[in-house]
Amino acid sequence: MVPTRRATVPALEDLLFVPLPVLDHGFLRVIDYMGDDAAVVQAARVSYGRGTRKISEDEGLIRYLMRHHHSTPFEMCEIKLHVKLPIFVARQWIRHRTANVNEYSARYSIMDREFYIPAPEHLAAQASSNRQGRGVPLDGAEAASVLSLLREDSERNYAHYEQMLNEAVPDPSRRGLARELARMNLTLNTYTQWYWKVDLHNLFHFLSLRTDVHAQYEIRAYADTIMGMVKAWVPKSYNAFLDYRLNATLFSAPMMAALRRMVAGESVSQADSGLSKREWNEMMHMLNGRQSEH
């Protein structure tokens, strides 16, 4: 522990450097952070200058900023995470472009012998709607067969990776294949790792997409763990994010027309709502309150 004059958050200091396990071999660790709830307020006050006397409390200001999509003050906080994650999850994660990344390089270094093998309760069938996502869990026999295929193929491909490299127990009659080539034999559930640095605004965007029920379970497991970190770090911003983003509900213009009639006491059916069956169902779902997880 060394002294600093910077904004410091004791609850997040406690989490610093501690790996929190995710999936079977993954983890998330906070490596560094910059700013706190007060830094959000401070940046907003630079913008509003003398004009903000009325929104005088920090929490109220943070909620106001979140509600009105004033995103730049949240960009003033930054967090850096060390993440160990399967490659197929990394491929989804990297699509969030406004972040900084340093990934373990399979050109320079040898990958670890670690693969993601789902727990049986996460082995699910394709969703019947023919779109992305999972439906019901596989039953015991099918699940067991899937798990053994995944395990055997990962292990075999890794063993052949090592054999092609010829580095661990070198056979002097062979040169060994370049690492950048041998790695192509590995499976997409192989674990990689990276440092990932992102500002709070873009982290909220990441979390709103990746904690969603439509996100793949495996990346959601990481997003859910990050939620706890953010709660420890910037509790006021976190609560505003829950109320005005994550658990907020967007009604389309056609939905609003139907909703206004309902609130006025009118009985509205799909047929006379002006909505397609699909949109009507989505709206009923919204009014029945699916989003209560966080």
Residues of this chain, 181-240, that bind a second copy according to CB under 8 A: 181, 183-189, 193-195, 197, 199, 209, 214, 216
Residues binding a second copy: what is the number (CB under 8 A)?
A: 138
Residue 193 DSSP code: E
- The tokens of 264 are what? 């006025």
Q: Are 177 and 165 in contact (CB under 8 A)?
A: yes
Rounded Cα distance, 17 and 109, in Å: 23
8 binds a second copy (CB under 8 A): yes
Residue 255 Cβ, how far from a second copy at the closest point, in Å? 8
The residue whose two tokens read 């609560």 is 239
Residue 43 or 62: the one with the smaller Cβ distance to a second copy is 43
Interior angle at CA 64, CA 58 and CA 70, nearest 5: 110
What are the φ/ψ torsions at residue 195 (nearest 5 degrees)? -95, 135
Residue 19 Cβ, how far from a second copy at the closest point, in Å? 14
6 binds a second copy (CB under 8 A): yes
270 binds a second copy (CB under 8 A): no
Rounded Cα distance, 284 and 289, in Å: 9
Rounded Cα distance, 271 and 15, in Å: 53
Residue 291 Cβ, how far from a second copy at the closest point, in Å? 8
With residue 240 as reference, give the H or E element that holds it: helix 235-241
Residue 90 Cβ, how far from a second copy at the closest point, in Å? 8
Interior angle at CA 229, CA 223 and CA 233, nearest 5: 135
| From 19-27, 228-236, 279-287, span contacting a second copy (CB under 8 A) | 279-287
Where in 32-61 is the site for a second copy (CB under 8 A)?
A: 32-35, 39, 42-44, 46-54
Among 11, 16, 119, 213, binds a second copy (CB under 8 A): 16
Strand partners, 113: none
Among 11, 21, 94, 293, binds a second copy (CB under 8 A): 94
80 binds a second copy (CB under 8 A): yes
What is the pattern of x (binds a second copy, CB under 8 A) and - over residues 105-124? xxxxxx-----x-x---xxx
Q: Which residues contact 162 (CB under 8 A, 6 or more apart)?
A: 168
Among 57, 155, 243, 272, binds a second copy (CB under 8 A): 243
125 binds a second copy (CB under 8 A): yes
Would residue 174 show up in a list of annotated catalytic residues for this protein? Answer: no
- The tokens of 177 are what? 């294949």
What is the pattern of x (binds a second copy, CB under 8 A) and - over residues 155-184? -xx--x--xxx-x------xxxxxxxx-xx
Whole-angstrom CA distances from 141 to 125, 135, 146, 148, 157 are 13, 17, 9, 11, 24
Q: Are 197 and 78 in contact (CB under 8 A)?
A: yes
What are the φ/ψ torsions at residue 269 (nearest 5 degrees)? -110, 165
Residue 149 Cβ, how far from a second copy at the closest point, in Å? 5
Residue 194 or 204: the one with the smaller Cβ distance to a second copy is 194
Residue 13 or 58: the one with the smaller Cβ distance to a second copy is 13
| From 20-28, 149-157, 220-228, 230-238, span contacting a second copy (CB under 8 A) | 149-157
Catalytic position from the list 183, 210, 261, 278:
210
* AA letter at 87: I
Active-site annotation, residues: 210
